[in-house]
Amino acid sequence: MDKLKVLAALWLLALAPAAGNCGWTPFKLELSGSSWAWPEDVDTVAGLNLNFSGDTPEIYGLQFGVLNGAGTVGGAQLGLWYNYVTGAVYGLQSSPARNFADYQYGVQFGGWNVSNEAWGVQAAWLRNWAGLGNGVMAAPVNVVKDRMRGIQLGFYNVTDGDMSGLQLGAVNICRGTLKGVQIGVANIGGKNALLPVTIGLNAGF
């Protein structure tokens, strides 16, 4: 078994630079996006990317490091501090501090999650923010800039645009059209709500 592990490791080390010549690699080590990386000049990682401060255009697999950065991710970003994706992430982003994705399809889990368009779950111990929200947001503070379709669970929930679904928290605010239910100490329903301000329960249909 030990011999097989050694052979597998040697095969991976031999394959990585050869694949790098074709623009992709199954394995990449990176100090930072602007300094040392092995193999060099690789745009796509189909496998494992280990880094201190990474910046890889395309990742299909796992990126693990302190500060993870990518253009597109299909798989998982696991950061010890921070993750960002300038394009789309399909899968999981998780870090204790902050996760950012332009388009998020899957799960963001961390301290502060940000996505211009979120499809799936945003769960944070501090704050979630989305331009467009579709799915579940769970954090002390949940903010949607435009439209929300789904569930907001937290102490303070606000949707600046239309809200379709459920807001459950101490303070719930919908500044657009409410098509759903608000349950909280203070509810501001916006357009279409039964009452503009309520205590306990509000709804719009």
Structural domain boundaries of the chain?
Answer: 1-128, 140-200
H or E element: which one contains 6?
A: helix 2-20
H or E element: which one contains 7?
A: helix 2-20
pLDDT band at 32 (very low <50, low <70, confident <90, very high): low
pLDDT at 112 over 60: yes
Q: What angle do CA 133, 134, 140 make, to 5 degrees?
A: 55
CA distance 47 to 8: 14
Q: pLDDT value at position 11?
A: 39
pTM of the model as a whole: 0.85
Summarised one tens digit per residue, pLDDT across range 36-72 is 667 777 889 999 999 988 889 999 999 999 999 999 9
Question: What φ, ψ does residue 54 adopt, rounded to 5°?
Answer: -90, 155
Q: pLDDT value at position 39?
A: 74
Q: pLDDT value at position 40?
A: 78
Q: pLDDT value at position 29?
A: 86
Mean pLDDT of 107-113: 98
CB 194 within 8 Å of CB 179: no
